[in-house]
Chain A
Amino acid sequence: MRLRTRKLLDRSFSGLGFLSIGFMAASLLVILAPIFGRGMGAAVFQGTIEHRRLMMEKFHRGDRDMIEAELDQVRAARAPVYDMIAAFKEEPQRLSFGDRIQRRKSMREVEDLVVELLGPLPGKKRPILIRDQYGETRWDQAKVKLGRLLYIEEYDYSDRAQMGRKILVPREQKFRGTSLQPLFAYVEENMEQMFLPRTTFYWRFLFDRSLDAHFFGGIGPEVLGTLYLTIMAMIFAIPMGIIAAIYLVEYAGDSSGIQLLRTCISSLAGVPSIVFGLFGLAFFLNTLSISESKSVLAGSLTLALLVLPTVIRASEEAIRAVPHTYREAALSLGAGKWWTVVTVILPAALPGILTSIVISMGRAAGETAPIIFTAAVSVGQPLKFWETISQPTPALSWNIYNLATEHEAVDEIRHIQYGMVLTLVLLVLLLNITAIVLRARISKKLRG
């Protein structure tokens, strides 16, 4: 081969390496960008008057007089809409029977959409479900609803080779010449007056309970549940992990029994997380019955098993990294073996062990599969500490799955889903960044 070709090959080989690292960075960016971008939208958004009313009525927040004044304004702006609907209902219609039924159906559609947009019609009984008591609380979604009010989605199947093409037909056409026709233009023009959108920073999103199955409110119980699960799992895993690591490094020899022990621990690390979940169900709940139903305790024990091998392995490395001279110095001063471990080696290895603990915490916080059968429920109240022994809890990871796939109005609560994902990712990232910083400190210290 010519030298030039060889050089070309060499360069493209390096290029491939750069590209694949670039691919990793790019995919990280592509995955995190929407999560960060839209996740922030759960807390910072254009809130409408309905949001402020909800906050006042359900959480007793906000300036009551100001909100009342705003509500009066809004009612004045909305009144013509309701008048138009009422007038249309009164209007004599010279139509055939079939047309009249058709028109009544379209009318009901419009009414439903208006109710969804603005909240219940005035003078009607207050609906039971909270989701029906309020109009759109977010300006972006109000605009989506407005689009649905103004246009009818229809599909064009004229081209048989292709899938149906979506076309938008103005709803106005159906009511041409009636007293309902001006409604559409009026709503479109007076959206701002009807909603008074204002930039809202809803930081209590992280702490509020959810209202009506996550239609409104925050993710407090989920955050609390994740914290409980993580912290309790670490309470079980840390002592066991560190003791096992001390034993494996300082006391165990290299006999075949110890080899077997090591193999067992590394096999534990390879078990798929869903199998841990099934094991937790079969062992902690069905066999030991540590609680009647799913509980935080069972979930955190399962999670503790899951992170145990990670804690052991990383603490082992940290203990092993303590220079031999430390040990020799302690022994030469007359300290016993255990005394050396406790007063010299563990303090020296502590930053390394902390790193491993922090990383395992991130893992425990993010795992979903082990807690599905052992600890997680979709809706629940925030638990008191002593209830964790017997009660299941909602948790961020499980509720992300649940809201994104099984919720009845998946599209309408996207902002809450994104907010949850962002919270979980931020939690895990914070833990990992702590670990990275800790590690950098250690390596600096070791280099002197």
Chain B
Amino acid sequence: MRLLEQEDRAGIWSRTSGGRKASLLLSKSAGRHKRRASIIGHGFLLTITSLSAVAILFIFYFIFRDALPFFQLRGLTEFFSSSRWYPSGEPSEFGALAIFAGSGLVTLGAVMVSVPLGIAASICLSDVLPFHLRQMAKPVIEILAAIPSVAYGFFALVVLAPMLQEQGGQILSIVVYVVGLPLLFLGATVLGDLFSQRLAGTHRGLIRISTTALLVGLGLLALALLGRRLTGLEISSGTNALNVSLILGIMALPTVVSVSEDALQAVGRELREGSYALGATRAETMMKVVLPAASSGILAAVILGVMRAIGETMVVWMASGNAAQIPHPWYNYLEPIRTLTATIAGDMGEADHVTGSARYHVLFAMAACLLLISFFSNLASETVRRRAMRKTQGT
């Protein structure tokens, strides 16, 4: 590189103090030097850049190299179809179905927490909040994203789990009331309105009020029943799928919010203004115009959120209970589960001494599955995002 700059200066120097011919052009050999230096420099930069790209190939190679012996030793069927996980038993069994199910369950739970809240928050950030409030909300999201996962895991294990175990029923019923009551009144009003709209006549107002009241009454009854059932619920272990899903959902929120906010901002003013000009409210504009236009960007956000949840190790390792079982029934979030990441982290300590055995290689097989999942999710989100970009640029 220094060669290059010397060439530069040499050119200028010969021009100013040479005296005879003030030529801006370099001599032939200097030009050749310069070109060579530029090629070498270019090559150097490219090498460093490719090194960081080659890392992913290395990761693939080394994970799969150690994963293949497992499949050679034990075949595919047991791993993917049995849910009996006894790696240190005699004879050992390596059925990972329950562990896959655990990962899936927790990820689903995290998505159910993070996607609705994340999209609502991103709409609020991009279209509702005034500028100075947005500037205050941004650091909250950044700090939420920055807290180390082990701190989240510690919170889940030491604070949340005992709380769920002791007052789980009450907490759940309070959540149901807090979420349910506003939803109930809103839903009843809208349904009553829609219902009375179909009927023509003088008694429309009366019908609307009575339907709404009826719906509210029914809903309150249902809520009260549900709440009472939940209050009596005993949660046998606080370290369960619900706990982990909640925390993973909170951890995935910043990703979902920031990516979908970018997608919403990319939609542009014109569509929004067109919709407002037609008399739509903000909610209608967002739901019927902006969200559909930003749908692929939001899909990318959801995929990234899923990846965050599925690849997370410390929280699930500390607070999921680590029981390799499929909950019964499968949607029972109050039972402990075990995930792929936690199994790798937890079992490697023991499998480390038996390098070369199926017990060691099965963990690499799991890592390979995780790697494939994350790789394809990443490709999918890239493709979706690229398509979104092309779409918004097109309009």
* A interface with B by C-beta (< 8 Å): 1-2, 5-10, 12-14, 16-21, 23-25, 27-28, 31-32, 34-35, 163, 240-241, 243-244, 246-248, 251-252, 260-261, 263-279, 281-283, 286-287, 305, 308-309, 312, 334-339, 342, 359, 362-363, 365-369, 372-373, 397-398, 400-401, 404-405, 414, 417, 421, 424-425, 428-429, 431-432, 436
Note all chain B residues with C-beta closer than 8 A to A281: 348
Query: Would you list 10 pairs from A and B whose C-beta atoms are within 8 A, ordered by A residue?
Result: A10-B283, A21-B137, A31-B152, A32-B147, A251-B46, A267-B374, A268-B55, A309-B52, A338-B4, A428-B148
The one of B48, B282, B379 that contacts A267, using a Cβ cutoff of 8 Å: B379
- Asked if A287 and B62 make an inter-chain contact with CB atoms under 8 angstroms apart, the answer reads yes
- Asked if A16 and B50 make an inter-chain contact with CB atoms under 8 angstroms apart, the answer reads no
Interface residue tally for chain B (C-beta within 8 Å): 99
CA distance A25 to B136 in the complex (A): 11
CA distance A309 to B378 in the complex (A): 13
Chain A residue at minimum C-beta to C-beta distance from B377 = A270
- Asked if A274 and B151 make an inter-chain contact with CB atoms under 8 angstroms apart, the answer reads no
Note all chain B residues with C-beta closer than 8 A to A362: 146
* Known A263-B382, A266-B382, A271-B56: A404·B154 in contact at CB below 8 Å: yes
Do most interface residues of chain A lie in helix, strand or loop, or is the interface mixed? helix
Q: B30 → chain A, closest Cβ, in Å?
A: 13
The one of B49, B63, B151 that contacts A35, using a Cβ cutoff of 8 Å: B151
Note all chain A residues with C-beta closer than 8 A to B45: 243, 246-247, 251
- Asked if B311 and A368 make an inter-chain contact with CB atoms under 8 angstroms apart, the answer reads no
Q: B186 → chain A, closest Cβ, in Å?
A: 6
B363 CB-CB contact with A under 8 Å: yes
* B interface with A by C-beta (< 8 Å): 1, 4-5, 7-8, 12, 38, 41-42, 45-46, 48-59, 62-63, 65-66, 116-118, 120-121, 123-125, 128-129, 137, 139-144, 146-155, 157-159, 182, 186, 189-190, 193-194, 197, 234, 250, 253, 257, 281-284, 286-287, 307, 310-314, 317-318, 341, 344-345, 348, 352, 355, 363-364, 367, 370-371, 374-375, 377-379, 382
- Asked if A18 and B128 make an inter-chain contact with CB atoms under 8 angstroms apart, the answer reads yes
Between B59, B186, B311, B348, the greatest number of chain A beta carbons within 10 A of the residue's beta carbon is seen for B59
Note all chain A residues with C-beta closer than 8 A to B307: 270, 272
Q: B368 → chain A, closest Cβ, in Å?
A: 9
Q: A368 → chain B, closest Cβ, in Å?
A: 5
- Asked if A18 and B124 make an inter-chain contact with CB atoms under 8 angstroms apart, the answer reads yes
* Known A261-B50, A274-B311, A372-B345: A424·B58 in contact at CB below 8 Å: no
- Asked if B147 and A278 make an inter-chain contact with CB atoms under 8 angstroms apart, the answer reads no
Chain A residue at minimum C-beta to C-beta distance from B375 = A267
Q: B49 → chain A, closest Cβ, in Å?
A: 4
Q: A21 → chain B, closest Cβ, in Å?
A: 5
CA distance A273 to B315 in the complex (A): 13
